[in-house]
Structure 1
Amino acid sequence: MLCALPFSKNPQLQVDLHTGNDENSEIAFHFRVYFGNCVVMNSCDSAGWGFDVKSSEMPFENGKPFKLVISVLQNEYRVKVNDQYCYSFPHRVDPRYVKMMKVWRDISLTSVCVCEREG
């Protein structure tokens, strides 16, 4: 469960799935929320950042808790917010190489679960 901190003027959430164990490694999936504005998704490999995929769909509310689920499917990442499908992003970097997840910006992180698909 995550919550945007209400004391930030323009709160943001960022989740980066890195291929290495440090912040300078490639980013297979970059997910950034500009609360009240838009969501931007991208990836960064050895050639640099790809093109941004933007969405104005905004299920996030400043100061309110939310559940964020990022599923790794065969061809894409699929993002749900509060159990509702909201976004998808095609793989540009093989997700099998992801080793680290960084969650940061203006949020309060209350729990994380990295789970394998059941069934």
Structure 2
Amino acid sequence: MPVQFEAFCSGGLVPGWSLIVQGQSNSKDDEFEINFLSESGEIAFHFKPRFSNGTLIFNSFQGSRWGEEEVYNVFPLELKEPFEIEIFSDSEYFHVFIQENKVAQYEHRLKPLASITKVQVLNDLRFPLVELSKKRLYLGDGRL
């Protein structure tokens, strides 16, 4: 798949980084994936929705091999309907939101997080918006 978006995370993926992707799939054969990569090219987080069978796939590629795949059968994406996906990182997990609803969390397998320095979106379709930003974290005790 061709790379549509690539960005580097200054200082690595520290808690608070967020990726937002907006798009629309017109065919069950449309595919895209989102990867958070380390400096050495390992994939810390791989996210791939599969429209063909209605699953969300999560994994990591470390030490020249894929880890154990996590498969979610919750699939809130619909063909020919616009969608928004947000992937947000805190110190323990990648949190995945679709249409502002949390659908999954994926425990960080690659540490330290500062070694995760690049985000790629690969796809067969065009996305009108891909945005990488750093948000302020609410710590639960009133501090930001």
Give the TM interval when normalised to the shorter protein.
Answer: 0.7 to 0.9
Greater CA drift, 96-105 or 71-80: 96-105
Match of residue 89 from structure 2 = 72
Match of residue 47 from structure 2 = 31
Match of residue 110 from structure 1 = 128
Q: For the Cα contact (< 8 Å) 2:95–2:106, is it kept in 1?
A: yes
> Offset of 1:9 from its aligned partner?
4.3
Change (3 A) 1:82 1:9: closer
Partner SS state of residue 78, structure 2:
coil
Q: For the Cα contact (< 8 Å) 2:23–2:129, is it kept in 1?
A: no
Paired residues, number: 115
Aligned-residue CA RMSD (Å): 1.8
> Offset of 1:60 from its aligned partner?
0.7
Partner SS state of residue 114, structure 2:
helix
Partner SS state of residue 99, structure 1:
strand
Q: Distance in 1 between matches of 2:88 and 2:31?
A: 21
Per the normalisation by structure 1, the TM-score is: 0.86
Per the normalisation by structure 2, the TM-score is: 0.72
Identity of aligned residues (%): 21
Unaligned ranges ≥5, structure 2: 1-20, 137-143
The structure with the larger Rg is: 2
Unaligned ranges ≥5, structure 1: none
Q: For the Cα contact (< 8 Å) 2:56–2:74, is it kept in 1?
A: yes
Match of residue 88 from structure 1 = 105
RCO (CA 8 Å, sep 6+): is it higher in 1 or 2?
Answer: 2
Which of these residues, 54, 57, 60, is aligned with residue 74 of structure 2? Answer: 57
